[in-house]
Amino acid sequence: MGAWIEIKEDAILNRVRIVAPYIGAWIEIASVTHLAEKTDFSNEDVEKIKNTLVTLFENDASAACPEGSIEVHKVCWWKHKSKIGQYASAKVHRLLEVNRNIDEPKTINDYNILVNELDSLNVVIIDGL
């Protein structure tokens, strides 16, 4: 992943601080097991998780991550036809391919994102905000 360094000088405090925003794609992978239903986990809970993932970094500014420095670009949600899943989790995880188009990416547009398919496995792709 490429990074650029910007040096800012604070004349009042007479110090130099280095700002290093790392431009990269972060991929988070998770799953909901069929055993969750034993805890009364429901489809309503699934929808809440999806909505939370889409808005994950909104209004979450900090010194380390200024407002707008991290965003959710897409949420890919696969739904199996059976409780235990018709494909292994690892096989499903490999359906998402993210590759850099250039050596030092600066925006999400510098990546090629491909969501492959498997027979009878439904995927819903939700755009981030």
The per-residue pLDDT for range 15-50, each reduced to its tens digit, is 544 455 556 788 888 888 889 989 999 989 999 999
pLDDT for 12 equals: 52
Is the pLDDT score of 51 beyond 60?
A: yes
Amino acid identity at 25: A
Average pLDDT over residues 88-92: 91
Partner residues linked to 123 by β-bridges: 78
- Return d(Cα 125, Cα 72) in angstroms, integer: 12
Q: How far is CA 75 from CA 6, 22, 45, 127, in A?
A: 31, 21, 16, 6
**Reported pTM:** 0.73
pLDDT (tens digit, 9 = 90+) per residue, 53-69?
Answer: 999 888 887 767 778 77
